[in-house]
Amino acid sequence: MRNIKMIVAYDGSRYKGYQKLGDNNMTIQEKLENVLSKMTNETVEIIGSGRTDMGAHARGQVVNFRTNCMDSLDKIQKYLYEYLPEDIVVKTVEEVDERFHSRYNVKSKTYMYKIDNNKYHNPFIRKYATHVSKKLDLDRMRKQVSI
């Protein structure tokens, strides 16, 4: 059995988070599993490196799954690109050691929070930044988050 690792990027604006909920098909995990299950003709279970909340985005979330499918990695990636919604993209696909586990082998995670600090919000970044119109005290904010 092969263990396939993928790096996934997505705009989570219209999803209920990464982890499947079982009551609908509007999570990133469910979208990935459905497409891979159709491609491999197997029941595929994706293991994610972590979860994102409803509306959150990811630039490089690591996931893995096990399969008996012998298609090339390039073919798998092209199939995913063609059949996943346009707001989910698999950036890389590679075969890894059978012991690799996305959740347990995490080396680091980076969270980014963006603030649109203008009088009026910028419509081009409204899905990716929180709008705060009042002036922020950056020095005080930096002191509060320093470790």
H or E, element range at 76: helix 73-83
Q: Which residues are catalytic?
A: 53
Closest C-alpha among 84, 76, 116, 74 to residue 9: 84
Please check whether residue 111 is in contact with residue 22, taking contact to mean a CB–CB distance below 8 angstroms.
Answer: no
Please check whether residue 58 is in contact with residue 12, taking contact to mean a CB–CB distance below 8 angstroms.
Answer: yes
Residue 10 backbone zone (phi > 0: left; psi -120 to 50: alpha; other: beta): beta
Closest C-alpha among 56, 60, 36, 59 to residue 46: 36
Residue 81 sits at φ, ψ, to 5 deg, of: -60, -40
